Structure 1
Amino acid sequence: MTQTPVDRKALLAHVRRVVIKVGSAVLTTGDGLNATALHRLAAQISGLGNRGLDVVLVSSGAVAAGRQRIRERTARKNGKTFADLPSRQAASAIGQGRLMHDYDEAFAAHGKITAQVLLTRSGLKNRERFLNARNTMERLLEWGVVPIVNENDTVSVKELEFGDNDTLGAMCLGLIGADLFINLTSADGVFDKNPETNPDARPMPCIETIAALDIEAMCDGKTSVGTGGMYSKLRAARRAAQLGVPTVIVSGRGEFDLAAVLDGEERGTLVLPEDRAVSSKKFWLAYHDDPSGAIVVDKGAANALATKGKSLLPIGIRSVQGCFERGALVFIENLDGDRLGVGLTNFSSTELDRIKGLRTDQLAKTIGPVTFDEAVHRDNMLLDAAI
């Protein structure tokens, strides 16, 4: 954590592609969509487009818009009727059309075309589908279209697959090769404590090393309308930092000014990127699926992974947790239970349980011919993953 002055203008001078995420707390009121906020957002993004920037908008608000429509047309006035997952997904199915209709009209007033892009984690974790989604987004941006992204809530089978649009926004950074993430929120940036419960909370204009923050201790609450809260925004910013992308967490309420943010004015909180960015492939493999289990390693293996950039060999494995197949994403933990990172395993949990602690020349005798000596290859591993 630091308050060291940073030349924002110089840092952001070369930005050409931006992911902007806007949350429900900005776009909605207790009655549904906030038309004023939506139209101002469209005007702001259109202005960035006129400056030559490619912009992808990750937008919440579909569930709130659907609730609004249902309440207008039916006798369902009690908000509790939307608490269960099927009701929220049904509300999203209704609200997506309303939300996109309003966006279409708002952007059309500035001569811009929009495109709806609905994503699911299960779709993006398949590398071929991921690359196909990337090609589609590239073509839309080439045409000067503003892609408006949301999770495909209606068909998601978990609650919800990405969990929040902050996470989805971070995923889009790798998808389109963005060089800035702007997260519009209801707060005036990040504070060192929750300002709703701590009157002495101080704003943080700049976070230089987000990996050093205890974001769970800092963030002890969520907004009532959205699903993420500041915790998910900082987690998304940490993922962006690993990809080498800076994040600006700034208020999207009232007379917010995206052009001023790009021009370097000190608004909200700037989260600096890490000096050494991970590859887009490692970013994709670490964050497009949930780990299915864990591999616990001894001190020697933990040190080799952390300081020498080595692959994980079976000889360094002490135990295996969970049930998973070859190719699954798994946690890598030390003997104290600390998570060192995540990686794609070359062996199933059953195979690993049989070969743990063995030398590589003993593997074939135990489980038959093997293609790999490594349990997890270093090219398929991300340490310090923000999960």
Structure 2
Amino acid sequence: MTKSPITRDTLLDNVRRVVIKVGSAVLTTRDGLNGAAINRLADQLSELSNRGLDVVLVSSGAVAAGRQRIYERTRKKHRNGKDMVSRQAASAVGQGRLMHDYDEAFARHGKVTAQVLLTRSGLKLRDRFLNARNTLERLLEWGVIPIINENDTVSTRELEFGDNDTLAAMCLGLVGADLFVNMTSADGVFDRNPDGDPEARPIPLIEDIAALDLEAMCDGKSSVGTGGMYSKLRAARRAAQLGVPTLIVTGKGAFDIPAVLAGDQGGTLVLPDERVVSSKKFWLAYHDDPSGAVLVDGGAANALLTKGTSLLPIGITGVEGCFERGALIFIKTADGVELGVGQTNYSADELCRIKGKRTDELAAIIGPTVSDEAVHRDNMLLDAAI
């Protein structure tokens, strides 16, 4: 029994807005940008736009385009420049080249594109997040196709999204998307790593992605690297929480996005969760990396999981890390099991002083209090895909 009436044949029935993410493995070759792939992508996204869909493209490729441009002009190869500064410099060169190629490809269909560069710090503040949403909404009202990428040149290691799968998942909530299409070099998701196991079998449908052990499927987080299948499945897990189905499909060769969306077989369809989180909770949980953690006792853990309560100081048994009020933190059991994340009302120092204390004791310990709750339930997401 499926958790949702969504099938491949009905996928587009209620879709108004789609986010499509395309990675470097699809857009580039050893020599730089793949013009044929860019043109094919523009052809197919223009077709979706002509059908009345709002299309948002999250695109990689700037670094590869920059390295290609540098070599064309200097005949010097910079393929080994994998440090952050080198990647940022190559991205600064390549962003213009990438957008130029996209502009020309979409212009063949009378489509206008817009470059939108985002940083994690830019979406961390709620007012900036809402301003970015308003800008994208206006572009889509005008029939423009936004092309989003991380602003690599100004990002820092602490603030970068880390991969465009993560950025694309954030964009789902940013634009209110109904469908997420993640184009990759693989033909969907397999039960094991097909690169190391010839017996690996494709998985055409994932009904409950929350029940999967993603690390085991992908041979652990570290082995797949940035942009690997682990990050794609984590992005699909986040999309499912937002109520958005995900299609993980190949972008290699003669891919056909409209046909796949119309029901043709290929790739993997990930169904959304039955319980959908709000856009605000989604933003709160994934706009930043947690700065620390609180450990809670069994009673508090049970109340959080079964009753949907807020977390009170009396239920906290330990504090990990150094963080200020308003930081995103993990909520864990005493033995380290992650229950979720939330925005703390108190600093780590304050929580260390009031942990295990009743509400009526707080003021005497730390002075006037900002809240009875350490983490309010409205600012908490359990089972977060961090």
Per the normalisation by structure 1, the TM-score is: 0.96
1:345–1:6 distance in 2 versus 1, CA, 3 Å: closer
Quote the residue 1:354 is aligned against: 353
Aligned equivalents of 1:308 and 1:284: distance in 2? 23
Please give the secondary structure, in 2, of the residue aligned with 1:131: helix
Between 220-229 and 232-241, report the one with greater CA deviation.
Answer: 220-229
Asked if the contact 1:295–1:321 (Cα under 8 Å) also holds between the matched residues in 2, the reply is yes
Please give the secondary structure, in 2, of the residue aligned with 1:118: strand
Counterpart of 2:69, as a letter, is: R
Quote the residue 1:36 is aligned against: 36
Asked if the contact 1:223–1:229 (Cα under 8 Å) also holds between the matched residues in 2, the reply is no
1:122-137 matches, cutoff 5 A: 122-137=121-136
1:223–1:330 distance in 2 versus 1, CA, 3 Å: closer
Asked if the contact 1:23–1:226 (Cα under 8 Å) also holds between the matched residues in 2, the reply is no
Quote the residue 1:16 is aligned against: 16
Q: How far does residue 75 in structure 1 lie from its aligned partner after superposition?
A: 4.5
Q: How far does residue 118 in structure 1 lie from its aligned partner after superposition?
A: 0.1
1:35–1:160 distance in 2 versus 1, CA, 3 Å: farther
Q: How far does residue 220 in structure 1 lie from its aligned partner after superposition?
A: 3.0
1:51–1:134 distance in 2 versus 1, CA, 3 Å: same
Quote the residue 2:339 is aligned against: 340
Asked if the contact 1:341–1:385 (Cα under 8 Å) also holds between the matched residues in 2, the reply is yes
Please give the secondary structure, in 2, of the residue aligned with 1:276: coil
Aligned equivalents of 2:210 and 2:224: distance in 1? 28
Quote the residue 1:380 is aligned against: 379
Deviations 1:69-92 (A, max 9, x none): 112222432521x11110100000
Q: How far does residue 159 in structure 1 lie from its aligned partner after superposition?
A: 6.5
Counterpart of 1:59, as a letter, is: S
Quote the residue 1:104 is aligned against: 103
Aligned equivalents of 2:63 and 2:39: distance in 1? 19
Aligned equivalents of 2:326 and 2:4: distance in 1? 43
Aligned equivalents of 1:226 and 1:58: distance in 2? 19
Asked if the contact 1:153–1:160 (Cα under 8 Å) also holds between the matched residues in 2, the reply is no
Identity %: 77
What are the ranges of 5 or more consecutive residues in structure 2 without an aligned counterpart? none
Between 154-163 and 193-202, report the one with greater CA deviation.
Answer: 154-163
Deviations 1:112-152 (A, max 9, x none): 00000000010001000000000000000000000000000
Quote the residue 1:64 is aligned against: 64
1:222–1:360 distance in 2 versus 1, CA, 3 Å: closer
Q: How far does residue 11 in structure 1 lie from its aligned partner after superposition?
A: 3.8
Aligned equivalents of 1:160 and 1:74: distance in 2? 32
Please give the secondary structure, in 1, of the residue aligned with 2:10: helix
Quote the residue 2:7 is aligned against: 7
Quote the residue 1:219 is aligned against: 218
Deviations 1:283-332 (A, max 9, x none): 00000011110000011101110111010000000010111111100000
Aligned equivalents of 1:338 and 1:88: distance in 2? 36
Q: How far does residue 10 in structure 1 lie from its aligned partner after superposition?
A: 2.1
Q: How far does residue 186 in structure 1 lie from its aligned partner after superposition?
A: 0.6
1:224–1:275 distance in 2 versus 1, CA, 3 Å: closer
Cα-Cα RMSD: 2.0
1:19–1:112 distance in 2 versus 1, CA, 3 Å: same
Please give the secondary structure, in 2, of the residue aligned with 1:300: helix
Aligned equivalents of 2:285 and 2:78: distance in 1? 40
1:183-332 matches, cutoff 5 A: 183-220=182-219, 227-332=226-331
Counterpart of 2:74, as a letter, is: T
Aligned equivalents of 2:379 and 2:71: distance in 1? 48
Please give the secondary structure, in 2, of the residue aligned with 1:141: helix
Q: How far does residue 371 in structure 1 lie from its aligned partner after superposition?
A: 2.5
1:236–1:310 distance in 2 versus 1, CA, 3 Å: same
Please give the secondary structure, in 2, of the residue aligned with 1:8: coil
Please give the secondary structure, in 2, of the residue aligned with 1:244: coil
Q: How far does residue 262 in structure 1 lie from its aligned partner after superposition?
A: 2.0
2:160 maps to 1:165: no
Q: How far does residue 246 in structure 1 lie from its aligned partner after superposition?
A: 0.2
Per the normalisation by structure 2, the TM-score is: 0.97
Counterpart of 2:155, as a letter, is: S
Aligned equivalents of 1:226 and 1:96: distance in 2? 23
1:102–1:188 distance in 2 versus 1, CA, 3 Å: same
Counterpart of 1:57, as a letter, is: L
Aligned equivalents of 1:72 and 1:220: distance in 2? 38
Quote the residue 1:174 is aligned against: 173
Q: How far does residue 8 in structure 1 lie from its aligned partner after superposition?
A: 1.8
Aligned equivalents of 1:131 and 1:249: distance in 2? 28
What are the ranges of 5 or more consecutive residues in structure 1 without an aligned counterpart? none
Q: How far does residue 226 in structure 1 lie from its aligned partner after superposition?
A: 8.3
Q: How far does residue 3 in structure 1 lie from its aligned partner after superposition?
A: 12
Deviations 1:141-198 (A, max 9, x none): 0000000000000000116710000000000000000000000111110000110001
Asked if the contact 2:236–2:246 (Cα under 8 Å) also holds between the matched residues in 1, the reply is yes
